[in-house]
Amino acid sequence: MESLERFLCSIALLVLSLLLPSNLAQQQQQHESIRTMEDFSGYPIHEPGQFGSINLASSLSVDAPGLQNQIDELSNFSDAPSPSVTRVLYTDKDVLARRYVKNLMALAGLTVREDAVGNIFGKWDGSEPNLPAVATGSHIDAIPYSGKYDGVVGVLGAIEAINVLKRSGFKPKRSLEIILFTSEEPTRFGISCLGSRLLAGSKELAEALKTTVFDGQNVSFIEAARSAGYAEDKDDDLSSVFLKKGSYFAFIELHIEQGPILEDEGLDIGVVTAIAAPASLKVEFEGSGGHAGAVLMPYSNDAGLAAAELALAVEKHVLESESIDTVGTVGILELHPGAINSIPSKSHLEIDTRDIDEARRNTVIKKIQESANAIAKKRKVKLSEFKIVNQDPPALSDKLVIKKMAEAATELNLSHKMMISRAYHDSLFMARISPMGMIFIPCYKGYSHKPEEYSSPEDMANGVKVLSLALAKLSLD
C-alpha cells in the first residue's frame, strides 16, 4: 500500500512539473503582449474587471495635442476671421460645426441622436443601461468675435474623457452621455441657454418659440430651426425636447473659468459649488428728437441722455448692495436715428445683472426700474418699455457630485478650490432635472468672449482627467 501511495505522489509531482512552466510561460507571454500594446499605443492597457483593485486615476492618459487640434479645427467653422470665432445658431457654420462634433462622437463609439431643437446626445451604454445615466457636456455656439474655448472645452473635452476611460479599460455601470446644448449664447434670438431651458421643461419658452420669437432679420425661430434640419413637427410642438426630473443620475460640465482666480492663485481645478442667479432687462426711452443745433437745450427731450443716466444708475444700485457677488452691466445701448447732428428720439438698453443671492438681485432690479421711471419723468421722455426678459434662480451644485469631483482632483494630485460660478451656464438649468456640478480650469488672464481667450493643453488635460474620474465614480455609484 505504501508503495502504491509513493507511486501516485510521484505521478502527481510529474504532472505539476509539466503544467506549471507552461502556465507561467503563458502568463509571461500575456504580460509581454500587454506591454507591447502599451508601447505601441502610448496608453496603459488593463484587463476587464481589474478596476476593483487598481487605482483608476493612475491609468488615465489624455491626448492633449489631439484635443487641441480638434479645438483648432472646430474654430475654422466661423463667420469671423481667425483668431476670432463667430458661430451663431442654425447658420451654415453652426451646422457644419455640429456635423464635426457628431462625427467625433461616432468615432468614439457613441450612439448619437438629436432632438427637435438640435440638442445632440452621444451615449456610451453601461452594463446596467436601465439606470439613469451620468451626463456631461456644454455648447459650441460663439458670440460675435469671441474665442474658441468657451463651451467647446466642455464638449470636445467630454468626448476625450470618454476616450480616456475606454483606453483605460474602464467599463461603466450607468451609461455615460455627452450633451451638446443648442444655443447657450443669446446671440440670435436673445434667449440664453435655449436648449437646456427646454430640456428642463420650460413650457413658456416652448410656446414662445412657436409664434413670437424672431431674430434681427425677422426670421422666426421655427423657420431658422427648419433651415438647419430641426423642428420638423408639423404642429411646431417642442415638448418632445422636455426631459423628466431624474432622467440623469448626475450632470457635470467642464468649462474654462472665464475669470482670473485659478490662474492668479496657481490652482489647477475649480470645483463649483453654486451658479449665480442671472436676470436680463430690456429698456426703451422715447423723446422728441430734432436737429442737434436748432433745438436749444431746455427743449431737448433727449432719449440718449436718459439711457446714459440709467446706465450710471445700474452701477450705483449694484454697488449699493455692498456685496462683491452683485454685478450689473449695460451690454447694449443703441440710439435712434444714430446721426451725429440728430438728438436721439429713441434709446434701447439691455441690462445684465447677477447675484448668488436671488433676493438681493431682485432688489437691484426693483431699484433700476424705479430709476428708469424717475429719469423719464425728470427728462420729459417716455419710458416705452421696461421688460424683465428672464429672472432665473441660482443653482446649487449637488453634494455628492461635489464630493466626487473633489475626490477626483485629490486622487490625481491636482490642486483645487471650491468656488462660485458668476457666469451662468447650461448647468444652471440642468440642475432643475438632475444633480449638477461643474469643473473649472484656468484660462489666460481670465479672458473670455474675446479672441485672446486661451486655456493651455496641460490645463485642459487636467480638467479632462478630473471629469473622466468623476464620471467613472458616479457611473459605478
**DSSP code string of 228-263:** TT----TT---GGG---TTSEEEEEEEEE-SSSHHH
Summarize the confidence of residues 15-39 as an average pLDDT: 44
Closest CA to 221 of 189, 195, 196: 189
**pLDDT surpassing 60 at residue 45:** no
Report residue 5's pLDDT band, with 50, 70 and 90 as the boundaries.
low
What pLDDT was estimated at residue 7?
52
Report residue 25's pLDDT band, with 50, 70 and 90 as the boundaries.
very low
Cell (9 digits) for 56: 483608476
For 135, the enclosing helix (H) or strand (E) is strand 133-139
> Phi/psi of residue 283, each to 5°?
-130, 140
Question: What is the chain's mean pLDDT, rounded?
Answer: 91
Q: What is the pLDDT of residues 154-165, one digit of tens each?
A: 999 999 999 999
Rounded to an integer, what distance in angstroms lies between the CA atom of residue 426 and that of residue 152? 13
Q: With 0-12 CB in 10 A as exposed, 13-18 as middle and 19+ as buried, what is 48?
A: exposed
Report residue 277's pLDDT band, with 50, 70 and 90 as the boundaries.
confident
Q: How many CB atoms lie within 10 A of CB 386?
A: 18
What pLDDT was estimated at residue 6?
57
DSSP lists the bridge partners of residue 259 as: none
Q: Is the distance from CB of 279 to CB of 350 less than 8 angstroms?
A: no
Q: What is the pLDDT of residues 146-155, one digit of tens each?
A: 999 999 999 9
Q: Is the distance from CB of 189 to CB of 425 less than 8 angstroms?
A: no
What pLDDT was estimated at residue 55?
82
Rounded percentage of the chain residues whose pLDDT exceeds 90? 85
**Cis geometry, peptide bond prior to residue 83 (ω within 30 degrees of 0):** yes
**pLDDT surpassing 50 at residue 411:** yes
Structural domains of the chain ordered from first start? 56-276+394-476 (3.40.630.10), 277-391 (3.30.70.360)
Q: Which comes out higher in pLDDT, residue 219 or 30?
A: 219
**pLDDT surpassing 90 at residue 47:** no
What pLDDT was estimated at residue 367?
99
